[in-house]
Chain A
Amino acid sequence: MTEREIMDRVTARLGSRVLATYEFRGQCAVTIRPADLRELLAWLRDDPDTNLEWLIDVGGVDYLGYAPGGHDDDDREWRFEVAYQLYSMSKNHRFRVKVAVKETECEVPSIWDMWGMANWMEREVWDLFGIKFAGHPNLRRIMCHDDFQGHALRKDYPINKRQKLTVPAENLLCEKVEWA
């Protein structure tokens, strides 16, 4: 199935709940609200035609000040997107689902119980973008140290604003570790 066909199926199913569709160089994506995420991903995974059983990647994007082509005509009403890359090994096709996240709400339902990998990926998005994942069992920083203030990959975080970790090394044997 081409990505276009998957996209058409998704828009047929969700109707007006699809906020935006997207096509570029044969790759397609839909943007949806956080509330529809779990339902859509579960359907894409379980539907025998799409069978996108494999979550490949979860990554955030900050669109603050995004002006494609130099024109300020970006019509997004939300600041962040979280992109879920899906892959079907049996059908050998890919698809991308994006979730629109408003700065004021900044919360997405966690899918860590559907794919084990989402656990760390969501922690990374939280760490670098400050997007919360509701229902995540251990949502704490993963890349930056625990004293870090702010979220590094947001566009309004200056790239060379360094923050020293002042905790002595012997105190770093934190008890906060997540037992698998």
Chain B
Amino acid sequence: MSDQTQVNAIPTDLLTLNIGPSHPATHGTLRIQVQLDGETIVNSGCEIGYLHRGYEKQCETVFYQIVIPYAERLNYMGPVHNSNAWCHACELLLGIEIPARAQALRVITSEMGRIIDHCVCIGTNLVDIGALTNFWYMYNYREKIYDLYEELCGARMMVNYPRIGGVSLDAPDGWLEKVKRTIDEMAEAVGDVQKLVERNRIFMDRTIGVGAISRELALSHGVTGPCLRAAGVAHDLRKAQPYWGYEKYKFEIPTAEHGDTYDRTIVRFQEMYESCKIIHQAIDSIPGGPVMVSDHLVALPAKDKVYNTMEGLINHFKLIMHGIQPPPGEIYSATEGGNGEIGFYIVSDGGPKPWRVRIRPPCFANYSVFPKVIQGQMVADAIAALGSINIIAGELDR
């Protein structure tokens, strides 16, 4: 018998290994089960729902404007985009258009959110495959963006900044200039990190060809965002179905070819530069004017009106106690979040509370391909692939 047939003749069983739900590499509460032949994954399966917080049911019990903080906590990597997206969906339902300045402020905050989302995604993914420095470096800049949020509205992470019909506060004096400065520093830092990893032999060996999502698989599973673009599909809702005036800004849709972990990481790097470009253009072209609509059925009256006029007081009271009441109807609104298409499907019965809120989370779709793409790879490859898909349990399980 040859050596190989002797080896094959040894009776071996597959080893079932359970990764998670509490595991450092899962960044949260994911659980992956794999069957191993040696170190190679033969079978894999995922169990989710460990962070199912009943978001959709909870939304049915609160007013439309109170859903804003709930929406933020779906995606804690770049929270602002989700609350912006929720307000956008409500505005679609109400049939109102927000002022141009509010749109620009939403674009700026959302793109900052996208940058810090990618910062943590790349940083933690690199930690998982053995490069700790980048994480500290990236997180430092995340803190700087937090500072900007704090100056804008007082909170650093869960900012609760937008309102239905606009944004809660105008940017303070000099804030926009500060954003530009920080973004420039940030782009430089991102460039440094990119230089550290892009042509790094170890990084390339660990990521090229690992966890590749093919174009067909991505389309069948509804994969969106950087994972789809890494697979070579130049699809971005900011271009395809623009909102908040994205059509005014010049930016590219970065794509790659193979859809593997390396490509996803590089696409995320490129997207951060594109976001920087968008922020610059948005700040340079930001119009003046109000940041809230003037419709008294949607926007709270100014404080001096509340304190000094009877009408203002009643208006305030009505909005707080009886809420915003959109007409009966249903709407599906989609925007491009950090990880892909985040959609809100709202059914309204005309009351102040949504009858049904269904959220279409990008991570849910992105994660459903994960068990397929790690088949035949090593356990360590699965960890590298998981980090680059950037699964956020809050959004996955809702």
* Residues of chain A lying within 8 A (CB to CB) of residue B35: 179
Q: Are B56 and A25 in contact (CB under 8 A)?
A: no
Name B167-214 residues within 8 Å CB distance of A.
none
Q: Is A145 an interface residue (CB 8 A)?
A: yes
Q: Are A25 and B345 in contact (CB under 8 A)?
A: no
- Using A56-B334, A120-B368 as known contacts, say yes or no to A61 and B49 having CB atoms under 8 A apart: no
| Partner pick for A116 among B46, B217, B332, B360, CB 8 A cutoff | B217
State in angstroms the CA–CA spacing of A172 and B388 once bound together.
Answer: 28
* Residues of chain B lying within 8 A (CB to CB) of residue A69: 327-328, 349-350
Q: Is B293 an interface residue (CB 8 A)?
A: no
Kindly provide the distance from the CB of B60 to the nearest chain A CB, expressed in whole angstroms: 8
Binds A, one of B101-109, B120-128, B249-257, B351-359: B351-359
* Residues of chain A lying within 8 A (CB to CB) of residue B328: 68-69
State in angstroms the CA–CA spacing of A70 and B48 once bound together.
Answer: 38
* Residues of chain B lying within 8 A (CB to CB) of residue A143: 48-49, 52, 397-398
Kindly provide the distance from the CB of B136 to the nearest chain A CB, expressed in whole angstroms: 34
Q: Are A85 and B95 in contact (CB under 8 A)?
A: no
Name A25-63 residues within 8 Å CB distance of B.
25, 27, 29, 53-57, 59-62
State in angstroms the CA–CA spacing of A153 and B397 once bound together.
Answer: 14
Q: Are A24 and B330 in contact (CB under 8 A)?
A: yes
Q: Is B69 an interface residue (CB 8 A)?
A: no
Q: Is B133 an interface residue (CB 8 A)?
A: no
Q: Are A25 and B92 in contact (CB under 8 A)?
A: yes
Q: Are B240 and A92 in contact (CB under 8 A)?
A: yes
Binds A, one of B151-159, B219-227, B304-312: B219-227
* Residues of chain A lying within 8 A (CB to CB) of residue B329: 24-25
Q: Are B57 and A159 in contact (CB under 8 A)?
A: yes
* Residues of chain B lying within 8 A (CB to CB) of residue A141: 49
Binds A, one of B268-276, B294-302, B369-377: B369-377
Q: Is B39 an interface residue (CB 8 A)?
A: no
State in angstroms the CA–CA spacing of A89 and B33 once bound together.
Answer: 34
Q: Are A180 and B33 in contact (CB under 8 A)?
A: no
Name A151-177 residues within 8 Å CB distance of B.
152-153, 159, 173-174, 177
* Residues of chain B lying within 8 A (CB to CB) of residue A153: 56-57
Q: Is A105 an interface residue (CB 8 A)?
A: no
* Residues of chain B lying within 8 A (CB to CB) of residue A119: 368
* Residues of chain A lying within 8 A (CB to CB) of residue B365: 117
Kindly provide the distance from the CB of A47 to the nearest chain B CB, expressed in whole angstroms: 17
Kindly provide the distance from the CB of A26 to the nearest chain B CB, expressed in whole angstroms: 9
Q: Are B332 and A179 in contact (CB under 8 A)?
A: no
Q: Are B349 and A67 in contact (CB under 8 A)?
A: yes
**A125 and chain B: residue at smallest CB distance:** B358
**A138 and chain B: residue at smallest CB distance:** B45
State in angstroms the CA–CA spacing of A94 and B61 once bound together.
Answer: 29
Q: Are B220 and A159 in contact (CB under 8 A)?
A: no
Contact size class for A?
35 or more
Q: Are A85 and B345 in contact (CB under 8 A)?
A: yes
- Using A61-B347, A85-B360, A116-B217 as known contacts, say yes or no to A159 and B49 having CB atoms under 8 A apart: no
Q: Is B140 an interface residue (CB 8 A)?
A: no
Q: Are A144 and B49 in contact (CB under 8 A)?
A: yes
| Partner pick for A94 among B46, B332, B356, CB 8 A cutoff | B332
* Residues of chain A lying within 8 A (CB to CB) of residue B44: 179-180
Interface membership of chain B positions 360-387, coded 1 if the CB is closer than 8 angstroms to chain A and 0 otherwise: 1000110011011001000000000000
Interface membership of chain B positions 26-54, coded 1 if the CB is closer than 8 angstroms to chain A and 0 otherwise: 00000001010000000111111100101
State in angstroms the CA–CA spacing of A100 and B67 once bound together.
Answer: 28
Kindly provide the distance from the CB of A115 to the nearest chain B CB, expressed in whole angstroms: 6
State in angstroms the CA–CA spacing of A141 and B50 once bound together.
Answer: 12
Q: Is B18 an interface residue (CB 8 A)?
A: yes
Interface membership of chain A positions 112-156, coded 1 if the CB is closer than 8 angstroms to chain B and 0 otherwise: 000111011100000010000000000001111100000011000
Q: Is B129 an interface residue (CB 8 A)?
A: no
Kindly provide the distance from the CB of A143 to the nearest chain B CB, expressed in whole angstroms: 4
* Residues of chain B lying within 8 A (CB to CB) of residue A96: 332
State in angstroms the CA–CA spacing of A59 and B356 once bound together.
Answer: 10
Interface membership of chain B positions 319-356, coded 1 if the CB is closer than 8 angstroms to chain A and 0 otherwise: 00000000111111010000001010101011100011
Q: Is A78 an interface residue (CB 8 A)?
A: no
* Residues of chain A lying within 8 A (CB to CB) of residue B233: 89
Kindly provide the distance from the CB of B18 to the nearest chain A CB, expressed in whole angstroms: 5
Q: Are A59 and B360 in contact (CB under 8 A)?
A: yes
State in angstroms the CA–CA spacing of A143 and B53 once bound together.
Answer: 9
A residues contacting B by CB (< 8 A) are: 22, 24-25, 27, 29, 53-57, 59-62, 66-70, 83, 85, 89, 92, 94, 96, 115-117, 119-121, 128, 141-145, 152-153, 159, 173-174, 177-180
Enumerate 19 A-B pairs (CB-CB under 8 Å) in ascending A order. Answer: A25-B95, A27-B330, A55-B222, A56-B360, A57-B345, A59-B360, A60-B358, A61-B347, A85-B345, A94-B334, A115-B222, A116-B369, A117-B365, A119-B368, A145-B49, A173-B33, A174-B47, A178-B45, A180-B371
Give 8 nearest A-B pairs by CB, closest first: A180-B371, A68-B328, A59-B358, A177-B45, A24-B329, A57-B360, A69-B350, A179-B43
Not counting A57-B358, A62-B356, A70-B351, a sample of 9 additional A-B residue pairs whose C-beta atoms are within 8 angstroms of each other reads A24-B329, A56-B343, A60-B358, A66-B349, A69-B327, A69-B328, A85-B332, A92-B240, A152-B54
